[in-house]
A and B are shown apart, each in its own frame.
Chain A
């Protein structure tokens, strides 16, 4: 019961502020609503007993990426762009296509709800008390089976850092 209340609270906050983020005129308002969405998603991760991802989400996304976004919004002058049209000409076509996609995925999910043995709406998870400590299990898996992807990810971050510095540098 409590699980249900927590889930619907965070899901409602996430969807509501995601919708506000897409429709707000001012980019800084969009950024603030995106932060709310990411925090609500972090709550969903906590409800799924993924404590490490919860903390990583808050520190990396909200503390790192969104601060970067807000900095760039302050660097580029948006007060000019604020008075121009915010949505492109294809918006109604785009909305129609997205609604068609939504109907498609929704029908697919709904029609698979009671496939015997693996229905999507049936809970068959391990009970929460029997889970191993999350961070320990994650670290064991990350530094054992997924060590090579981990190293590749660090190279990717290095390349991104160098690329961003080169790109934002002033041409002399």
Chain B
């Protein structure tokens, strides 16, 4: 076990890279992948604290987050397929049906 600060810095770096991806990319599929990266970065924190306190509750929550990520990916990709069928695009700034 390394000191916990290393895990926190790794998790922070992955989270921020994911945040950059969410904000700057135009392709919706890559944005969804960046969200997966963010959820994964949170998992590192949970498992590291679970290890340092010797309590498996953190790993239980990491499992719930993995299940959540699966549900979110499935629904998001379903929306992308439905949208692509209607508008023939996957770029997020061309999704402006509610804009006038």
Asked if B78 contacts A50 (CB within 8 A), the reply is no
Chain B positions within 8 Å of A94 at CB level: 20, 23-24
Asked if A86 contacts B27 (CB within 8 A), the reply is yes
Chain B positions within 8 Å of A61 at CB level: 36, 40, 66, 69
Asked if A18 contacts B24 (CB within 8 A), the reply is no
The B interface is mostly helix, strand or loop, or mixed, namely helix
- Assembled-state Cα–Cα distance A121/B52 (Å): 12
Asked if B33 contacts A4 (CB within 8 A), the reply is no
Chain B positions within 8 Å of A91 at CB level: 23-24
Known: A48-B51, A88-B24. A38 touches B40 (CB 8 A): yes
Asked if B77 contacts A69 (CB within 8 A), the reply is yes
- Assembled-state Cα–Cα distance A7/B1 (Å): 9
Asked if A45 contacts B47 (CB within 8 A), the reply is yes
Chain B positions within 8 Å of A68 at CB level: 73-74, 77
B85 CB to nearest chain A CB (Å): 8
Asked if B1 contacts A128 (CB within 8 A), the reply is yes
User: Which of these, A50, A101, A165, contacts B47 with CB under 8 Å?
Assistant: A50
6 smallest A-B Cβ distances: which pairs?
A167-B78, A160-B71, A94-B23, A164-B78, A22-B21, A125-B1
